[in-house]
Structure formats: structure tokens, C-alpha cells
Amino acid sequence: MSAKKQMSTKSIKAILLIEDNPGDVRLLREMFNDHGAHDAELTHVDCMSAAEKHLVEHAVDIILLDPGLPDAQGLGAIRRTHAAAPRLPLVVLTSLDDESVAEQALQEGAQDYLIKGQIDVRGILRTLRYAAERKRLERLKDEFVSTVSHELRTPLTSITGSLGLLMGNAAGNLPTPMARLLAIAHTNSQRLVRLVNDILDIEKMEAGRVVFSFSRVEVRTLVAQAIEANRGFAEGYGVRVRLGEALTAADVRADPDRLLQVVTNLLSNAIKFSPPDSEVVVAIEKGVDVVRLTVRDHGQGIPVDFRPLIFEKFAQADAGDARQKGGTGLGLSIVKQIVDRLSGEVGFADAPGGGTIFHVQLPCWDHVASLAIDREAKTDATRLLLCEDDLDTALTLRAQLRQVGFATDFVYSVSEALARAEATQYHAILVDINLPDGDGVSLIVRLRELPQYRDTPIVVVSADTNPGRDDLRSSKLNVLDWLTKPVDFDRLVRLLAKSVVRNANRRPRILHVDDDNLVARALGEIADVVTVNSIEAAQRALKAGDFDLAVLDVELAKAASPDLLPELRDSKGNAIPVVVFSAHGANLADDPREQAALAKSHSSIDSLVATVRDRLASRLASVSGR
Amino acid sequence: MTDIRILLVDDEPDIREIVDVSLGLDREFTTRACASGADALVTAAEWSPSLILLDVMMPLMDGPTTLANLRKNPRTAHIPIVFLTARTQSSEIEHFISLGAQGVLSKPFNPMTLATSVRGYLPPSVTHHVP
């Protein structure tokens, strides 16, 4: 095991309290202070997004969560906390009347809960220590399972290898009684291999270490493949597997390897629980926006008591089942975990005439593809391209970005990203660094090779805090920032607002009040410029049209300030930002709207243009955000 | 008869023996085995195998390090390498391929078909050799 620092129960130093009720916060703080919990520091945030941000930026030892927050409630709050900090112990605060939340919290991975109004000082410290210790043990268990499973594979390789060679007559023909005994050993060694594989799979999935590669999958072909692969297994049980009604044009968005695992597990489950000489029928149907796959058996059905537990780990209807059926008790649990990650749904029902029907529903490809283009946002909104292979993450981020006025199209792969970027001019691009058909860095390299994306703002969004992030930020690829998931949304919006220069439909307009032609020409490269040399002309220009920015010579501005400055508004009444350009470095210190003052004699025209571009960017972003 | 030389590198003696028997099912294969990465560097340079089957988790010098060292020596740099490993997450396979391996075979393997799988990774110049 690595030399990672294991948190001891004595070292609870940083407690994060996520609670929106100021009274409860005060109460808890007082308790900690009164008890002289000397080395423990209590930090408080009042919503989930602030908690997520805090967890990214600060070291925390334990989390105290009230799951009734303005931006996250109940199970959702618990899941988000767990997603933001899967390795931290979590204690949930509940009120007397919602102990059901407490129960769900424990199922979702919380270590303990406290009931508000019944908390005392000694109790809370004991609970925190206990929760931290419990979490530590859970982690040790997970690491242990992973190590042991790897270690088991080595002797298993020798055992299955030797038996396989003997059974294949590689060491000469075997007398029949000996062959039968070896066959038993061989079959069971293979079962042990499956068990180890299943345990490893589930442990990896629970720890969030399985990377899914999404693509377009034709369900019919995949099912046929799974049936073929399980033919021998079915024959062993005297069961026939048949593909029943199956649409040909039923494509879904999934990871083909993982979906094959789902179908295989459902098939082997159905086969094991079928009576000899019966039939297992697989069907593929299409619903609204989903493809539905069903596996029907003619077994005895699932006992009522067992139904709520069926997707639990090591769950089997009765203890004798495992031995009798040769299962691991993990198959359906793995199915559930995978289907969840595929943004799908799995369930079961009694089949008419006996037996059980399991179904899996997955988002159909056409539906997902139609989601990719943001059609609900305003047509003139600033349009972003999000390269993200997780559908749920993409949809959540789009919904958030839409609220602040951005339109977001998304793609799942490097190849799609390049095709879309060439078809539409995007104003900024968000790239997840782990994409199924290549990495995000190579996507950025290829985007930068396209002339129309040479300067487009690019932000990396990634689940890992990759050590390469600083290299990437400082490299020539000109990546604005590397944001870690869960994304700090406020920071993302600030970044976009600052960097997205061009608006979809028009060039920015500048009112230039000066008589310097050189400046006018330079500004003309980044905007439409109306140059006037008197206050009266400026006033006329303001009446004729909207401007995004005014650039004023200080002498004119001073003379004008009582008359002109109040008039510097667009047709909606919003104040227009002002950049003052002066011969002496003087400025209009009294006017809060003045955004930048530059000395003509000292600053080059280039730096004026840079300043103006910067002001325009934040101006346009805030306008498009309205 | 063609002589196709396969060098196996694995620290587990039992696995060395099973791989030896499995590969022996193909009459054209001659197999030698090394118990460590360091031995493999010497044997590969002397014996010039057609392909190296390389374990990943070995003490002292692990599979990827052995691969890197084999690539550094001009006498062994060109030899195709296939990892034989108990870790077969698809991301790990991609990682091994990116290191310059020709392929990845997972443990436990089917001993009756191992030789056929290995054959698939041999360059045509080896399999179509005219005696």
C-alpha cells in the first residue's frame, strides 16, 4: 500500500460545516468553542456550490452536512457532497422528524448522523471521531480488496493454466474418471476467476475509477454477440437463448464493452434461473427517446422479500443459491452500476405466464444527438462548444450556462469536436481532458491549427488535478485555465465573461471622441469606430445609435463632463464604459464610470487597443449575459 | 522448420512453466524464460528473440521499465513486445500500447490458445520466413 497519509482519529483539524441556518451554525460553533476543541477548526459555508468550491481549494478532514440547502436538498445534497469528496467522512445533520433522510444518508455513504436539538458537546466529538475512523476502515477495506484481488490472479493463472492444459490433452490423453474430476476443478477455477473479476469491477466502479468510452452502439449486433458468447454456457443448463423481436435501427449512446457486460450478466442470470429445456428471449424495442432491451426467462420468479435487495452486492435469494447456481452475487449489482453510469435505467417485472422480465433502458442515439445542439437558448447568445463525454454533466452545465445567457452545444469526442468547430464558429471552447477517442490536449493542439480558432478562449475542465495543468496553462496552446470537476461555476462565468470578445452577430461599436487619426485607425481593427471631435457631434452620435464603449481625450472629456458623461448610455439606459486617453496621464477621478485612464505620452497605441479590447470583452459578456 | 524464438519474462516460476508448455503446443516456437527484467536485457541481446512476452508487475525492474531499457539498446530495440498482465483495464491497455508494446494479453489466459494469440503479434517477416 502506498505511503499515503492516513487520517488518524485524533487529527480532525479541519471541519467543514455545510448549513444554511445561521442559528444552527452559531449553536455548533459555541459548542466547539465551549468544549475547547482546541486544534479543530470549523469552517462554515451556507450552500452546496460554496462547499464544492471549498473542497477543491482547501484540505478538509470531515464534513458536517445539513441536507436542506438552498441549492441542494436531501439525497441530492448527500450525493453531491460525496461526489465532491468521495474520500472524506461525512456526518449528516437531520431534524427529529426526518429520520428517513438519515437512513438514506447512511445508505448513500454517510458515516453517521446527528439529530438537531439532541446534540451535546461530548456526543458530537464522539460522532466525528467515530465517523472518521469508520471512513478510514472503509478505505482500507477497498484498498485491501483491490490488492487481494490482484494477488489472487497470480496463483489463479497457474491453476487455471495447468488445468486448462490437462483438459486440452496437452499432456496426453486422460483416463475418463480422471478427466471428470479435473473438469470439476477446471470449471471451479474459472468460476473463481469470474468472482475475482467481478469483485475488482465493482470495487473500481464504486471508487469511480472506471473510465467509460461512449460511442454509437447498435444494440442488435451487440446482443447477437452476447448471445453467441453465452451459447456454450446456456447449453450447459439445457437452455436456449433466442433473439426475439428486435428493431434493427436501435442505436444507443453507450460504452460498448460495458454494455456487453450488462447484456452478458443479464443473460447468464436468466440462464441460471431457467428450468432445463426452456427458452430465454431477448427483445429490443424503441420508446420515446429510449431503446428498451428486455431479457425474459421462464424461471420461478423473484421472491417478494428479495425484490428490494436484488441489485445489492452479494445479494442472493437464499444462501444456497450461490453454490447451486454458480453465481457470484455481484452480476446484477454490476449491471445496476453500469446502467447508472450510462444514464439509463434497469428494472424487472413478473412475466405473464411465469418467469421474470429484466429491462434496461438507454438513451437512444438520435435523441442524444439532437440534444447536442442547444436550440432553446436565444439565437444571438454567445455560443460555446463543450467537449464532455458524460451526458448528465453536459446537460447540467448547459442548464447553468443558459441561465447566464450562454448557448452551449456539446460533443462527446475529439472527432465530433473538430467537425462541429469547423461547421460553426464558437466563441469559447470547454474541453474535458479525458475524451474517449483521444485526449483533450491533442484536441486543443488541432483546434489551434485552425486559423479561426487561433485565439478563441479555451478552458480545460477535468476530473483530475493533473500535474500537467501548469505546463498546459503556460504553454503556447494558450489555455485560459484548468478547472477541476465539480466545476466552480462562478469562476467559469467570470473567465468566460473576461475572455469572450466577439459577439455572435456584430462587431462592437466605439464612440471615439478625439481628433487623433492614428488612434482611430488602430481601434478600427477591433471594432466599428465613430470618431467625432466635438461634444455636440458626440451627442448627435449617441442619439443615432448604441455604443459599447467610449474612448475620450481627457481635455475634451473634462470640458464635456457635466454635459456628455450623463448621456453616455445605450438605448436600454445602461451606462457605457469609458476609457480616457490623455496627454498628461490625468484622469477623471471623480467619475466612477471611468474604467481605465491611460497616458497618451507613455502608453503606446497597442496598449490602448489592448485595454479597449479587455473592456469590450467584459462589456459584451455582461450584455450577452443579460 | 522455422525457428520462432519467444522470450518469456515472468518472476513466477509456475507461470513460466505453464507458458512454456502452452507455447510448446506450436511446433515452430522455441521458448526461453527469464525470471527478471535484468536477465531479460542480457538474454534478449544475446539470443535475438522474435518476440518478448513480458510480465508487468515484477520486483526490482518492472515490465514497463524493462521495455524502456530494451528499446534503448540498438540490438533489442526492434523486438516486438507483448505484455502478459493481471491488470487489464482498457485504460491500462492503452497506456501499455502507448509505451510501445505491440499488444497486451491478460492473465489468467487460456493455455490452449496462447500460442495462437502470440502468433498474431509476430511480424510477417517472421511467420513467412522461407527456410
Q: Which residue of chain A comes nearest to B98, CA vs CA?
A: A438
In a 3-state reduction of DSSP, which class is residue A411? strand
pLDDT tens for residues A425-481? 888 999 887 776 667 778 888 888 888 888 888 888 876 655 455 566 656 677 877
Share of chain A above pLDDT 70, in %: 83
**CB spacing of A157 vs B22 below 8 angstroms:** no
The size of the A-B interface in CB pairs under 8 A is 58
Measured at the CA of A114, the angle between CA A109 and CA A115, to 5 degrees, comes to 130
Q: What interhelical angle do B63-72 and B37-47 show, nearest 10?
A: 30
Q: How far is B113 from chain A (nearest CA, A)?
A: 10
Asked if the C-beta of A562 comes within 8 angstroms of chain B's C-beta atoms, the answer is no
Nearest CB to A161 within list B86, B91, B111: B111
**pLDDT over 70 (residue B18):** yes
* Least confident stretch, A115-129, A522-536, A601-615, B102-116: A601-615
ipTM of the complex: 0.83
Per the listing, cell 505546463 goes with A471
- Return the CATH class of domain A1-208: alpha beta
pLDDT grade for A569, boundaries at 50, 70 and 90:
confident
Question: What was the pLDDT predicted at A500?
Answer: 75
Nearest CB to A157 within list B25, B108, B112: B108
Task: Name the residue range of residue B96's domain.
Answer: 4-117
Question: What was the pLDDT predicted at A601?
Answer: 47
Beta strands of A401-527 (E only): which ranges? 406-411, 428-432, 434-435, 438-439, 458-462, 479-484, 509-513
pLDDT grade for A368, boundaries at 50, 70 and 90:
confident
Q: Decide: A14 and A60 in contact? Cβ < 8 Å.
A: yes
Instruction: For residue A313, count other CB atoms closer than 10 A to its CB.
Output: 18
**A418/A442 Cα distance (integer angstroms):** 11
Mutate to test the interface with B, among A148, A149, A158, A159 (most CBs of B within 10 A): A158
Q: How many CA atoms lie within 13 A of B64 on its CB side?
A: 9
Homologous superfamily of A215-362 in CATH? Histidine kinase-like ATPase, C-terminal domain (3.30.565.10)
* Of residues A9 and A543, more confidently modeled: A543
Q: Which residues contact A478 (CB under 8 A, 6 or more apart)?
A: A448, A455, A458
Question: What was the pLDDT predicted at A342?
Answer: 87
> Mean pLDDT over residues A174-184, rounded?
88
- Return the CATH class of domain A509-624: alpha beta
Does B131 map to a domain?
Answer: no
Tell me the CA end-to-end span of chain A in Å, nearest whole number: 53
Residues 109-168 of A with CB under 8 A from B: 150, 153-158, 160-162, 164-165, 168
Q: Which residue of chain B comes nearest to A151, CA vs CA?
A: B86
Question: What was the pLDDT predicted at A348?
Answer: 94
Instruction: For residue A26, count other CB atoms closer than 10 A to its CB.
Output: 11
Nearest to A507 by CA among A620, A423, A614: A620
Does B55 map to a domain?
Answer: yes
Type of residue numbered B89:
Q
- Return the CATH class of domain A372-499: alpha beta
Q: Decide: A217 and A254 in contact? Cβ < 8 Å.
A: yes
Chain A residues close to B21, C-beta within 8 Å: 165, 170-171
Q: Decide: A177 and A398 in contact? Cβ < 8 Å.
A: no
Measured at the CA of B112, the angle between CA B109 and CA B118, to 5 degrees, comes to 65
**β-bridge pairing A549-553 and A578-582:** parallel
Beta bridge partners of A363: A290
Nearest CB to A161 within list B18, B57, B89: B18
Question: What was the pLDDT predicted at A208?
Answer: 63
**pLDDT over 90 (residue A527):** no
* Of residues A304 and A4, more confidently modeled: A304
Q: Decide: A388 and A331 in contact? Cβ < 8 Å.
A: no
Number of domains in chain B: 1
Domain CATH code at residue B93: 3.40.50.2300
**CB spacing of B90 vs A171 below 8 angstroms:** no
**A167/B98 Cα distance (integer angstroms):** 36
Angstrom CA distances, B52 to A386, B29, B82, stand at 43, 12, 6
> Mean pLDDT over residues A605-623, rounded?
69
**pLDDT over 60 (residue A10):** no
> Mean pLDDT over residues A284-298, rounded?
91
Question: What was the pLDDT predicted at A543?
Answer: 76
Does B70 map to a domain?
Answer: yes
Does B68 map to a domain?
Answer: yes
**CB spacing of B12 vs A153 below 8 angstroms:** no
Q: How far is A219 from chain B (nearest CA, A)?
A: 21
Measured at the CA of A498, the angle between CA A497 and CA A499, to 5 degrees, comes to 100
**CB spacing of B21 vs A193 below 8 angstroms:** no
Question: What was the pLDDT predicted at A585?
Answer: 47
Q: Decide: A116 and A94 in contact? Cβ < 8 Å.
A: yes
**B56/B85 Cα distance (integer angstroms):** 6
Question: What was the pLDDT predicted at B52?
Answer: 97
* Of residues A211 and B19, more confidently modeled: B19
Q: Which residue of chain A comes nearest to B16, CA vs CA?
A: A158
Question: What was the pLDDT predicted at A4?
Answer: 38
Q: Which residue of chain A comes nearest to B90, CA vs CA?
A: A211
Chain B residues contacting A, CB < 8 Å? 12, 14-15, 18-19, 21-22, 25, 57, 86-87, 89-91, 107-112
Question: What was the pLDDT predicted at A588?
Answer: 45
* Least confident stretch, A200-209, B43-52, B72-81: A200-209
Q: Do domains A372-499 and A509-624 have the same CATH topology?
A: yes
- Spell out the domain ranges in chain A: 1-208, 215-362, 372-499, 509-624
Question: What was the pLDDT predicted at B9?
Answer: 97
**pLDDT over 80 (residue A596):** no
* Least confident stretch, A12-21, A190-199, B68-77, B115-124: A190-199
Enter the DSSP assignment of A364. B
Asked whether the whole model's pTM tops 0.80, one would answer no
**B105/B117 Cα distance (integer angstroms):** 8
Does B127 map to a domain?
Answer: no
**pLDDT over 50 (residue A583):** yes
* Least confident stretch, A127-131, A407-411, A482-486, B43-47: A482-486
